[in-house]
Structure 1
Amino acid sequence: MKIELVQLAGRDGDTAYNVERTLKAIASCADDTDFLVFPETQLMGFAAVEQLASVAEPLDGPSLQAILQAVRERNVAVVVGIAENAAGTFYNSSVLVTPEGIALRYRKTHLWPSERGLFCPGDRYVTTLWKGVRVGILICYDIEFPESSRALAQLGAELIIVTNGNMDPYGPVHRTAIMARAQENQAFAVMVNRVGAGDDGLVFAGGSALVDPFGRLLFEAGREECRQVVELDLDQLQASRREYDYLRDRRWHLPGERIDHADGRRELLIPAIDQPLTGR
């Protein structure tokens, strides 16, 4: 499987600019690309409080419809971030768009402090099959919590994709986290971050990366815009579990209701925070 990591600068609240750059990246990808991965909230940037209601869009809005058309023309899949408007409730979401449509929508479950009060946190983890590989999505701060990646692994994820909007001085935090999340779940992990300056003086740290199921860093970007094609050796999934298997050997499962859909999607619903845990 070939994945293109598209590390870009963006403009906060400027959907037209961000969508145009995203469409150009899709149109110019290599013919044998399977996936393109973009940063967190790629299409809208991090909109200010007064902008959010005007720039956030539903999943059937014009921005994702334009992405879908581009995906169909190139016969690829795209993971891209969006400020989602779900009937007046706003989510920091990332979606997997394939030529057949939106295959997966994930709403960020762990909101950064500045996002609280703007976005509503998601209530589930999700995976789906794409070209025989089970894929799950996380967003930025999610990867600092081991339970998020473990939830995807519990759903069978073999590839964890992280759309990222990580800024200075926290770049080293996500570098460490992405390697740990891949190693402890014996899955590939792809993280794509934003670069450049944003509003409120933020400087985004770049450092997009590919990590294999052993936790080895196979590619790491710098702090400038770049596009890098990486290829996954899927045999490494089995090789990493040949002598030991963390999921099989663990003695406790994350709580939550698992839902298996006929189209291949799997969900793990997050229990209420005050729900007592069982299984001692």
Structure 2
Amino acid sequence: MKVQLAQIPSDDGVTLPNLARVLAVIEAADASTDLIVFPETCLMGFPSADEVGQVAEAESGLTLQAVLRAVQARGISVVVGFAEADAGHYYNTTVLLSPDGIALKYRKTHLWASDVGVFTPGQQLVTGLWKGIRVGILICFDIEFPENARALAQQGAELLLVTNANMDPFGPVHRALIVARAMENQVFAVMANRCGSGGDLTFAGESVVVSPTGRVIAAMGRDEGTLNVDIDLAEVQASRTDYSYLAQRRIPLAAELTRLTGTQTALLIP
């Protein structure tokens, strides 16, 4: 499988320049690319509480539909973050878009300080099938809680996709924790982080792909760019041949497992 990290900046509280960046990356991608992973809320940046009502859109909104049309035109799947409006609430949401539509949608469950008062936390840690692979999505601060990644692994996830907008001075935190989340769950982890600046924040970049044994396969610096990475999903089962952290653990998660539509499952947060 060929995955592309798209480490790009965002403008906060607006849509059009961010959409243009995303569409340009999709258009320029190699035809052999299976999946492009973009940063957290990259289609709207980080809107303020006053701005979110003006820029947030439903999943059927014009911005996400424009990305979907590009995905369908190229035959490439993407993971992209946006500010979602639904039933009077706003969510920090990431979707996996395939040419067939939304393959998986996840609403950030653990809100960072700047999310509080802007977004409503999600209540489900979800997985779904994409190209025959069970995948799960987390967003930025989510990876600082080991239970979140474990909840996805407990549902059978083999591939963890993380949209990120981690800033200085916390870059080393996520750079270390994404390795731990991959290794302790024996899954591939793909994390795309925002770069550049916004307001008084400087974003850390350092997007990365990690193997199920914790080996860093590919990593980026702090600058804007893309990076193509080949991963072999056979490494997931190979990593579990001699031991399985999931099978050998003695303290399971107590959250309720439920089946969503089709092949999607979720652990519900109480």
Segment drifting more, 262-271 vs 95-104: 262-271
CA deviation after TM superposition for structure 1 residue 115, in Å: 1.2
Distance in 1, Cα, partners of 2:81 & 2:173: 21
Q: What is the aligned partner in structure 2 of residue 238 from structure 1?
A: 237
Q: What is the aligned partner in structure 2 of residue 193 from structure 1?
A: 193
1:237-260 CA distance string (max 9 Å, x none): 111101000111011221122122
Distance in 2, Cα, partners of 1:259 & 1:71: 30
Residue pairs, 1:85-164, within 5 angstroms: 85-164=85-164
Residue pairs, 1:40-119, within 5 angstroms: 40-119=40-119
Q: Size of the alignment, in residue pairs?
A: 270
Give the share of equivalent positions with the same residue, in percent: 54
Distance in 2, Cα, partners of 1:119 & 1:157: 26
Distance in 1, Cα, partners of 2:95 & 2:239: 28
Distance in 2, Cα, partners of 1:107 & 1:197: 24
Q: TM-score, normalised by structure 1?
A: 0.95
| Contact 1:39–1:164, Cα closer than 8 Å, also in 2 | yes
Q: Residue type matched to 1:240 in 2?
A: S
Q: What is the aligned partner in structure 2 of residue 168 from structure 1?
A: 168
Distance in 2, Cα, partners of 1:174 & 1:187: 16
Distance in 2, Cα, partners of 1:160 & 1:183: 11
SS at the partner of 2:51? helix
Q: Does 1:204 align with 2:203?
A: yes
Q: Residue type matched to 1:269 in 2?
A: L
CA deviation after TM superposition for structure 1 residue 14, in Å: 2.1
Residue pairs, 1:251-266, within 5 angstroms: 251-261=250-260, 263-266=262-265
1:109-138 CA distance string (max 9 Å, x none): 110012111111110101111111111000
Q: What is the aligned partner in structure 2 of residue 213 from structure 1?
A: 212
Q: What is the aligned partner in structure 2 of residue 225 from structure 1?
A: 224
Distance in 2, Cα, partners of 1:54 & 1:11: 14
Distance in 2, Cα, partners of 1:97 & 1:6: 15
Stretches of structure 1 that go unaligned for 5 or more consecutive residues are: 272-280
Q: Residue type matched to 2:269 in 1?
A: I
CA deviation after TM superposition for structure 1 residue 262, in Å: 5.4
CA deviation after TM superposition for structure 1 residue 164, in Å: 0.1
